Structures are given as structure tokens and as C-alpha cells.
Amino acid sequence: MTTTITITGAGGQIGYALLFRIAAGDLLGPDERVRLKLLEIPQGLRGAEGAALELQDGAFGLLESVDVTDDAGVAFDGTNIAFLVGSRPRTAGMERGDLLAANGGIFGPQGQALNAGAADDVRIVVVGNPANTNALIAAAHAPDIPSERFTALTRLDHNRAVGQLSTLLGVPASEVRDVTIWGNHSATQFPDVAHATVGGRGVPELLAERFGGEVAARAWLADEFIPRVAKRGAEIIEVRGSSSVASAANAAIDHVRDWVHGTQNGWTSVALPSDGSYDVPAGLVSSFPARSVDGAWQIVRDLDLDDFAAPRIAASVAELVEEREAVRTLGLL
Ligand code: NAD
Ligand code: LMR
């Protein structure tokens, strides 16, 4: 069988990092052939065409075809997996909210094109920022596609949180389980370690050991860990001079691979339309702890949220509500 995969913004940085890993089998495994459809705006077409030439030069055994187009109808026709990357990245000094007006307008028409042509089993991940609200806009324009097929990427934040814990505790990242990113892919997100474990031991207990008590551990979480993870995008922009690329592409691959093949190591974090769980208003695209079971995301239920977690989640959800109001005002919803 062959899977059709559409990548928007394929001529950009993240697109370039994604394409070769998908062609090499990192997304769907060594037995699944892929057909790639690269969507760009006219000024980005040459970049995507160049990437297509290099894909040919890679002689990838799994790669059946590569099409480059600036027509969303062509790009989404028959697509099984859509990476919605195409949009403007923020630059130094911008907050993600500044991108609402700049990028929101892209996602309504793309939602309509997906609705018109995508395969029945389509899975969509929005990478372009502000990712949660862009996914909300796209889903609202695709009434025939079940809304839970529209997700936004918070796996990068999840991986960042795992990376920080792995470094601090001196353990491989693969041993860190059940971290959660709640809320928005923005500085208000809440990276939550309350239920996380390493080697079967609770991370809160390990942090208390490391910092000499629960109070000091909580202070480290509040003052160091949470801001470090939540503002890592800005740190990368400052240090690299442009926003994250390879780690973002890697996270997008992790997200879709787990969605298709199932989560392996505990749960992960996915922004998806709320079903009302954890008091997140229904329909809002918010990040939750989730497992992929039989090819569909399931929110992990009934986690206890203490007075450290609950207000932080509520604050990020409030920002998502504000973003929804802002795009309504702009006429994008
Ligand atoms: P980039 O500028 O290198 O590439 C973006 C590409 O999108 C460009 O080639 C541009 O021509 C194309 N594009 C613009 N509008 C388009 C449209 N309507 N249809 C198709 N293509 C279109 O940017 P990048 O570094 O690849 O980043 C892309 C987006 O991903 C940005 O919004 C960035 O903020 C976001 N991002 C998200 C995460 C995350 O974790 N969710 C992480 C990193 C970056
Ligand atoms: C990131 O988290 O690295 C991206 O969303 C880019 C950004 O603007 O922070």
C-alpha cells in the first residue's frame, strides 16, 4: 500500500527537514511506500522544486512520487496525512499571538481544500503558528472531516520537557515517561511532571531528592523548568537566529508516527479538539496527555490536578479562548 502525504510550506526550513526523513521511512516504517505532495505559494515553489530534485537524487526505495504545486486542491486530493507547516515563523521579539492575523488566513482555505479532497482516513497535524488556533480554523472549515482528525503540534514542547528532565536526572530520554504539556503551544503552556516517572519512580520524588525537599523542587519547577520549556522557542530563535527546524520536524514525525502506529512509552502530548475533559471548553484545540489506540488519539482521563497545576492549565486555556475570540473578530472562524 502507498500513503499519500501532503506537506505545506514544503519549500521552507521545516519542510526541508521533514521530507528526507519521511522518504527514508522514519514516519511510517521500512515497508510503507509514500507519495509526497508539496504545497507552496508561488514565491516558495522554487524551493520546493529544488527539494524535489534532491529527493530524486536520494534514490529512496520507498518514495513512489513527488508532486510540487501551488494549488491546494491538487495538494490535498486523496491525502492520508497532511502536515500543515506553511506559514510565517516569528522572529526575535514577536510573541506567537502576533502571528494570528498573519497566518490565520491560510488555514480556512486549506481546511476547505482538505474537506473537498482528502481521503476518508485523513490525519492532519498543524505545525504553523499559532498552531492550536490555526487547527481550530482549519477544522471549522472542514465540516465533513471528524474534528478529532485535526491536531496541532505540542510534541516539540513535550520532547523539550523530556530532554530537560533527562539531562537533569542523568537518564536516557527513553526512560522518562508520562510528562504532559497542557494548553497552548505558547509561553503560557504548562509542562507538567506530576505524573511523570523515571525507571518506575515518580519524578516529583526524584526532584525532591535532587533539590533537598519538596518546596525546593517546586521552586525549581516554577522558576526554572516551566519557563525554560515554555520559552524554548524564543531561546532557539535568539541563539540560532531563526526558529527551531530539525527538532520541530522530528517532533512532527514523532506525533504522526505515534498516531498511526500507537504510543509506546507511556503517554504523549497532543493538541486536539477538547471533548470537555479537564474543564477545557469543548472544541478548543488544547494540548492534553494522550495515547494513540487503534489509530486514534484518546485523552488520558482522571488525572488529579493539584493547586499547582489547575490554575496554570486554566491560564493557558484562557489564552486559547482569547485567540478564538480574536480570530472570530478577524472573520477567520
Ligand atoms: P519558513 O519560512 O522556512 O517556511 C515556511 C514556508 O511556508 C515558506 O516556504 C512559505 O513560502 C510557505 N508558505 C507560506 N504560506 C503558505 C501557504 N498559504 N501555503 C503553502 N505554503 C505557504 O518557516 P519554517 O521555519 O519552516 O516554519 C514554519 C512554521 O512552523 C512557522 O509558523 C513556525 O512558527 C512554525 N513552527 C511551529 C513549531 C511547533 O512546535 N508547532 C515549531 C517550529 C516552528
Ligand atoms: C518553537 O516552539 O520553536 C516554534 O513554535 C517557533 C516559535 O516561534 O517559538
Residue range 12-55, pLDDT digits in tens: 999 999 999 999 999 999 999 999 999 999 999 999 999 999 99
Q: What is the pLDDT of residues 219-235, one digit of tens each?
A: 999 999 999 999 999 99
Supply the pLDDT for residue 91: 80
For the cut 90, the answer to whether the pLDDT of residue 100 exceeds it is: no
pLDDT band at 241 (very low <50, low <70, confident <90, very high): very high
The C-alpha atoms of residue 185 and residue 251 are separated, in whole angstroms, by: 13
Per cent of the chain over pLDDT 70 is 100
Q: Is the CB of 113 under 6 A from ligand 1?
A: no
ipTM of the complex: 0.99
pLDDT band at 96 (very low <50, low <70, confident <90, very high): low
**128 is annotated as contributing to ligand binding:** yes
Residue range(s) of every CATH 3.40.50.720 domain in the chain = 2-152
pLDDT band at 1 (very low <50, low <70, confident <90, very high): confident
**189 is annotated as contributing to ligand binding:** no
Ligand 1 atom at minimum distance from 127 CA = 41
Q: State the average pLDDT over residues 94-108.
A: 82
* Structural domain 2-152, CATH architecture: 3-Layer(aba) Sandwich (3.40)
Residue range(s) of every CATH 3.90.110.10 domain in the chain = 155-325
Which residues are tagged catalytic? 185
The C-alpha atoms of residue 304 and residue 234 are separated, in whole angstroms, by: 31
**14 is annotated as contributing to ligand binding:** yes
**Closest residue by Cα to residue 218 from 202, 229, 207:** 207
The C-alpha atoms of residue 56 and residue 19 are separated, in whole angstroms, by: 12
Which fold does the domain 155-325 belong to in CATH? L-2-Hydroxyisocaproate Dehydrogenase; Chain A, domain 2 (3.90.110)
Among the residues of the chain, which ranges form H helices? 13-23, 45-57, 72-76, 99-117, 131-140, 155-169, 203-211, 214-220, 226-230, 232-240, 246-261, 309-329
For the cut 90, the answer to whether the pLDDT of residue 277 exceeds it is: yes
Ligand 2 atom at minimum distance from 99 CA = 8
Contact 29, 256 (CB under 8 A): no
Closest ligand by atom to 96 CA: 2
